[in-house]
Amino acid sequence: MTTSHLTHITEPPGVAPATGYTQVVTVTGTGRLVQVSGQVAFDEQGNLVGVDDPEAQARQVFENLRRCLAAAGAGFEHVVKFTFFMTDIAYLPAIREARDEYLGSLPLPAASAMQVVALFRPEVLIEIEALAVVPE
């Protein structure tokens, strides 16, 4: 599927189909690279949203990603890759649900998901970074 300057290849020949992400995203033409550092579930005042609640944390993380992308003149339609870090892989469905709320019907970007031993504070359950390309 092609979305302006991005082409999503969901099923490359010889590769098992992906569930919940796109296997390959290519960028054509010129564009501006936007790298969003890992976002966690802090609100505007620096308070953690959703202590012990992966669903609430995932929603806040995606809201923070939205705000960071907007500050760079980008949106979720420009994201080519997410990297999900979580302290329990069981949080992945909550992350995908929040992602789907924010992306709506947009093609899914490439993604990597990993369980980590810990994030920088014990009450932080999820961290997500994004890579986007905005057409010039």
Instruction: Look over the chain and give the mean of its residue pLDDT values, rounded to a whole number.
Output: 94
pLDDT attached to residue 57: 98
> How far is residue 54's CA from residue 93's CA, in Å, rounded to a whole number?
9
The tens digit of pLDDT for each residue in 30-84 reads 889 999 999 999 999 999 999 999 999 999 999 999 999 999 999 999 999 999 9
Burial per residue of 63-102, b for 16 or more beta-carbon CB atoms within 10 angstroms, e otherwise: bbbbebbeeeebebbbbbbbebbbbeeebbebbbebbeeb
